[in-house]
């Protein structure tokens, strides 16, 4: 029985969807630059959650947005002097491409904010009709937080500290808790917006960031959704405001389970460009890492604990993934048996894996069960015993349907090629580069290529 930690109640709660399938919304990227490895931790986490819900028997209707109009995207497109659409589509494509590399399954719906402005306007009008929104002197429409009972319930905000009065408004998309006050739902056009505006019943302008997710989640998933996921940095103001907008408009609970993924640190510090500890997926690929190694690295810790990224840790993760891939090949070529001692070990391991995952997706405690199974099977193979190949592969595939790190499509490399790769590795260690090049060419001549990666040499069919 799956339990998830709900940020709203601050308790682990048994998960059960309202309908036959689970509705899930994940706040997507703001497409104004390439996602960095801190962002990817959240997106891999959404994917883990989605995969495990499906593993547990609930198909998932997942919707995710692209924030392709907000303060940051407009600023970026103007700085580069390109139209907003052209500017954002580039990052949107990069996001989808990187998602595939990280084995992130696509959501049922990707929704662009710019294509849902009418839905947002309707939502704001609904809030205005219910006395929860007003138009200010600046022409923008704001949410009146004093009129919404329950404002602050997700972020545990002290309402007594809310600022009031004519200056009690915030028009920018991002702000801190100390600035909590009426926030912009619809922003009147200003000089800085350039040609980005819509003419609507709310006047000429554009939507605020927060209202985008409320409108799009309602459109695709309904007024009450099962799961809403995001990084912890989104709890305030973004998710707090989403609750106010959605519940304010419908009078119904917006989200049943709020789940948030912790921050990623890099070399023990917050990632920043000035500290030279800022990485995109592309940066890591250039250093010879496979994207799936990053995915494994994320999964090695529980999603609610802070995780410290280092290149050494990623190297380790890459080796582990390669070992798992090698293990698949070894099992495939092992002598087959109907069953054996490993059958029980596999069942025990699967049970342990599921129990850990049921406990709020505790991957850190689930992974050791996988390695225990690998250890038992390996020792059987090394002892020249027959193993139930199909059972072992079934186990790996089940576990991997959640983890998404093992490559089952990899082809077997003949022993004579493996031997040449080893010889070449020795030559490299002895700095005999002439010989190492000669061996590389020989391998090439046999139709295989060697790649030198951070996890050691890898060989594949040319
Ligand atoms: Zn959002």
Residues 376 and 446 in one domain: no
Six-digit token string for 132: 């929860």
> Does a structural domain hold residue 375?
yes
Long-range contacts of 390-393 (CB under 8 A, 24+ apart): 390/336, 391/339, 391/342, 391/343, 391/346, 392/331, 392/342, 392/346, 393/328, 393/331, 393/332
Q: Is there a domain that residue 389 lies in?
A: yes
CATH number of the CATH domain containing 273 = 1.10.730
Centre of ligand 1 to C-alpha 240, Å, is: 10
What is the distance between the alpha carbons of residues 298 and 301, in angstroms, rounded to a whole number? 6
| Domain termination residue (choose one: 215, 246, 261) | 261
Establish if 410 belongs to a structural domain.
no
Give the pTM.
0.90
Dist. CA 205–CA 187, nearest whole Å = 5
Task: Single out the residue in 261, 280, 313 at which a domain terminates.
Answer: 261
* Close Cβ partners of 305 (under 8 Å, ≥ 6 residues apart): 262, 364
**428 & 325 share domain:** no
Cis peptide leading into 237, omega within 30 of 0? yes
CA of 242 relative to ligand 1 center, distance in Å = 8
Rounded distance from Cα 210 to ligand 1 centre (Å): 6
Ligand 1: distance of its center to the CA of 214 in Å? 8
Distance 67 CA to ligand 1 centre (A): 8
- Cα–Cα distances in angstroms (integers) from residue 142 to residues 83, 248, 451, in the given order: 27, 13, 56
Residue 9 near residue 16 (C-beta atoms within 8 A): no
SS3 452: strand
CA of 234 to the centre of ligand 1 (A): 8
User: Are both 285 and 255 inside the same structural domain?
Assistant: no
Per the domain annotation, does 11 fall within a domain?
yes
Q: Which residues pair with 452 in a beta bridge?
A: 457
The answer to whether residues 103 and 243 belong to one domain is yes
Range of the domain at 290: 266-403
Beta bridge partners of 230: 260
Residue 408 lies in a domain: no
End-of-domain residue from the set 211, 243, 261? 261
- With a CB cutoff of 8 Å and minimum separation 6, the contacts of 429 are none
Question: Rounded distance, CA 384 to CA 21, Å?
Answer: 46
Residues 429, 308, single domain; the answer is no
Residues 362 and 457 in one domain: no
pLDDT tens digit at each of 462 positions of the chain: 999 999 999 999 999 999 999 999 999 999 999 999 999 999 999 999 999 999 999 999 999 999 999 999 999 999 999 999 999 999 999 999 999 999 999 999 999 999 999 999 999 999 999 999 999 999 999 999 989 998 999 998 876 656 554 457 888 888 887 777 899 999 999 999 999 999 999 999 999 999 999 999 999 999 999 999 999 999 999 999 999 999 999 999 999 999 999 999 999 999 887 788 899 999 999 999 999 999 999 999 999 999 999 999 999 999 999 999 999 988 988 878 776 778 999 999 999 999 999 999 999 999 999 999 999 999 988 887 788 889 999 999 999 999 999 999 877 777 788 778 888 888 988 999 999 999 999 999 988 888 776 656 777 778
Domains contained in the chain, number: 3
For residue 66, the CA-to-ligand 1 centroid distance in Å is 9
């Amino acid at each position: 029985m799956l339990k998830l930690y709900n940020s709203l109640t601050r308790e682990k709660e048994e998960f059960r969807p309202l309908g036959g399938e689970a509705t899930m919304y994940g706040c997507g990227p703001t497409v104004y630059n390439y996602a960095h490895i801190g962002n990817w931790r959240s997106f891999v986490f959404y994917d883990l959650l989605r995969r495990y819900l499906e593993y547990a028997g609930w198909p998932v209707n997942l919707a995710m947005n692209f924030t392709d109009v907000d303060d940051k995207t407009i600023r970026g497109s103007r700085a580069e002097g390109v139209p907003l659409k052209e500017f954002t589509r580039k990052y949107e494509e990069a996001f989808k491409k990187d998602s595939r590399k990280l084995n992130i399954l696509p959501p049922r719906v990707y929704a662009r904010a710019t294509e849902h402005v009418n839905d947002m306007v309707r939502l704001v009008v609904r809030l205005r009709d219910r006395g929860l929104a007003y138009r200010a002197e600046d022409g923008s429409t704001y949410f009146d937080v004093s009129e919404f009972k329950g404002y602050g319930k997700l972020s545990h905000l002290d309402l007594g500290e809310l600022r009031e009065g004519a200056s009690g408004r915030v028009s920018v998309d991002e702000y801190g808790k100390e600035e909590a006050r009426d926030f912009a739902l619809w922003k009147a056009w200003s000089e800085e917006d350039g040609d980005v505006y819509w003419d609507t019943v709310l006047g000429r302008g554009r939507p605020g960031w927060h209202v985008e997710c409320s409108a799009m989640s309602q459109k695709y998933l309904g007024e009450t959704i099962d799961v809403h996921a995001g990084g912890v940095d989104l709890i305030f103001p973004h998710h707090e405001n989403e609750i106010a907008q959605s519940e304010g408009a419908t009078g119904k609970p917006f989200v049943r389970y709020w789940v948030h993924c912790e921050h990623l640190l890099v070399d023990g510090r917050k990632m920043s460009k000035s500290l030279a500890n800022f990485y995109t997926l592309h940066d890591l690929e250039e250093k010879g890492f496979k994207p799936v190694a990053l995915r494994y690295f994320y999964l090695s810790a529980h999603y609610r604990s802070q995780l410290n990224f280092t290149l050494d840790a990623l190297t380790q993760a890459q080796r582990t993934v390669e070992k798992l891939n090698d293990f698949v090949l070894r099992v495939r070529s092992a002598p087959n048996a109907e069953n054996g001692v490993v059958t029980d070990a596999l069942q025990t391991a699967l049970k342990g894996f599921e129990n850990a995952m049921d406990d709020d997706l505790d991957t850190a405690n689930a992974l050791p069960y996988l390695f225990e199974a690998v250890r038992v099977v390996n020792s059987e193979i090394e002892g020249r015993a027959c193993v139930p190949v199909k059972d072992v592969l079934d186990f790996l595939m089940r576990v991997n349907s959640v983890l998404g790190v093992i490559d089952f499509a990899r082809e077997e490399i003949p022993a004579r090629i493996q031997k040449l790769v080893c010889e070449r590795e020795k030559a490299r260690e002895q700095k005999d580069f002439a010989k190492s090049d000669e061996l590389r060419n020989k391998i090439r001549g046999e139709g295989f290529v060697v790649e030198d990666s951070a996890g050691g040499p890898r060989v594949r069919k040319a």
